[in-house]
Structures are given as structure tokens and as C-alpha cells.
Structure 1
Amino acid sequence: MQLLFDFFPVIAFFGTYQLTGDLFTATAVIIVAVIAQTAWQWFRHRKVSQMALVSGVLVLIFGGLTLLIHDKAFIQWKVTVVNWLFAAAFLASRFFGDKLIIERMMGQNLQLERSLWQTLNWAWIVFFIALGALNLYVAYNFSEAFWVKFKLFGMLGLTVAFAIGQTLWLSSKMPAEDASAESGKSQ
């Protein structure tokens, strides 16, 4: 359910584009959806996640520029900028604080050796860089309609596939006693 909430603005963008065929109307809708999503998070939890905040601010900036200048390149570049900023944040976490970002996100549920956290952090860095580059490739080499579909289905699909791959990789790294304890809980 959280994944759907996280992708709500993108789904609203996609739905609007499918109904209108107009990227500028869809951009206006994603701006409103991001504001609504951020307000909902704030009123419900009295905080907004940093990832959602960064993404939301960039939607406002790049979406606003798209509408103001009437140039679709800004909203298309927003996806890449967000992914590359996430990659930079994951990379910077190696130098600031005692835990990597991925460990801060998953550390309450998972105990790993430092080297595994580092490998996982690097995997997310590479993933975000590749996703940003792939977005630009699609934006500049395919139709606008294809890019809009890729923004929802391609990005979501790749993110889910990467998360599943991460889960499989992590399960192969878990000590045998942890794996047997987990299987005993489910019986």
C-alpha cells in the first residue's frame, strides 16, 4: 500500500496524460498531487520523508518551469535529477554519520555486517544512476507518449525488480540459523 501512496503523483500524471494526451495538463496535475501527498503525510505523521520532500520540491521546480516556459524537457529531466540526487545522497552517506542511508532505512528490520551494508548501498547508487540515465535515453529517443508510459510502468517495474533482486541477494547472505528461525516462525 505504501508503494501505491509513494507513486500516487506519478499515477495521477499518467492517468491525466492518458485522458488528455497533454503533457502540460498532466504536469499541472502532478504538481497538485505532490502538494496533496505532502500535506497528507504531514497531517498524518507530522513529518515528511526526506526522499518525498526532495522529489516534491523538484516536481514543483521542474514542473513549474515546464508550465512557465512551456518546455516538456524540464519535467522529463526531473526524473533524472531526482534519481541522481538519491545516488549522491547514498554516496555521501559513506562520509557522514555512522550509518549508510540504506542501513538507516532497513537497519531496524535487518542485521548485516558492515561490508554487506556497503555492497547494498553501492547497488542502490548504481541503480539510481542507471535509472536516471535510462530516463534520459527514453525521453530523447522515444515518443512523448512512450516516455509517459515508461515513467510509470518502466520506472516502477525496474524498481520492483531491483527490490526483489535485493531481497533474494539478502536472503542468500543471511546466516543459516536466521533462515531456519524465520521458517520456524511461519509454521
Structure 2
Amino acid sequence: MQDISCDILNEMESDEWVCDFAFAVDIMQKLNELNTKLQGKGIFAHELYLEVKAFQWKLGLFAKQLNEQKFIHFPLLKTQSVTQESSDKYSSKLMALQKEFIRRFADFKAVEGLFDLLNSPLACDIETTTEELQIELIHLQADNSLKMMFESKPLVEFYASLHSKKFQNLKKFARKMFVLFASTDFLHHEN
């Protein structure tokens, strides 16, 4: 029994183990931050997807920086003497994690264009949208007062406040997207 405890203590005293532990704590903190954001109240599916997509990009950045022995985003790891071999190992783990995120959220990728349209109707390429939305999007993008309203209101309120006749298809699209992803807030805000 004493041999086992000595082995554990020796392992915990090794520089490599301490670096591995620091890396694990740093990355778990980032995963916990993402998890907290994803569990926020009143978050819509397109917002969840944006958080996941941003996290995937961050993982790529972190992997590249760790490979270059830049530890700015890993405060505990930064305090350790990290070998290039360990940096490469952590970089590989982050790339594997990024690939797993991409695999697990592949279904969202299929509706990314719809999320982009919902989230940024003023910046979308009108020619790539469905024909029934094109004219309404032209009117929306041409109207400065609607642009200001878009910037000043929450997304649900913005769509709900659009004129029902003039933006009938756009409102229908937004309603489908919000209801499809379990938000009834849109129905309560509609005029």
C-alpha cells in the first residue's frame, strides 16, 4: 500500500504530470464557460450555434498557439515549464476536440444559412435567399429606420414588430425558426 502511495506522489511531483494537470484544468474551465453559456435562459438555437461555432474556432486558435508555445489563453499552463513535446501533445488533443465538436454539431451546420439569415437579415446576400423573401429583404435592407430598430431591439422583438402585410414572408420565416427551436417568445411579442 505504501508503494502505491509513493508511486502516486512521485507521479504528482513530475513536471510532465503537473503540466498535464494544468492543461486539463485550463481546458475544463473553457468547456465549463461554454456549457454555462449554452444553458442560459432565453437562448435561441441560432445563438447556441454561434457559441459552439465560436468555440470550435477558439479550439483551432488554441491548438495553433500551443504548438507555438504561446500560453496566453492557458493561465495555469503558462506558469509551468512546458516542453515542445508536451505543447504538441496538447495541440493534438485540442484538434481532436475540435473535430469532435464539428462531428457532434454537424446537424446545425446544415441550417447555418437559415441561422445567418435570421440573425443578420440586413447583411444577407439577397440573391441566395428563397425567392419569397427577396423583395421583403430588399425593403428591409433599404429602410434606415428598420436598420436602427434592428440594432436597438432584441431579435424576437424586431421580427415581431415588422409590419404584418409588408413583411409577411419574413415574419413567417422568423416565426418558423423561433417556434421550430422552442421559443414561444416571438408569439407573445407579435403585434
Classify the TM-score, shorter chain: 0.3 to 0.5
Q: Which has the larger radius of gyration?
A: 2
Between Structure 1 and Structure 2, the one with more helix by share is 1
Give the TM-score of the pair, scaled to structure 2: 0.32
Give the TM-score of the pair, scaled to structure 1: 0.32
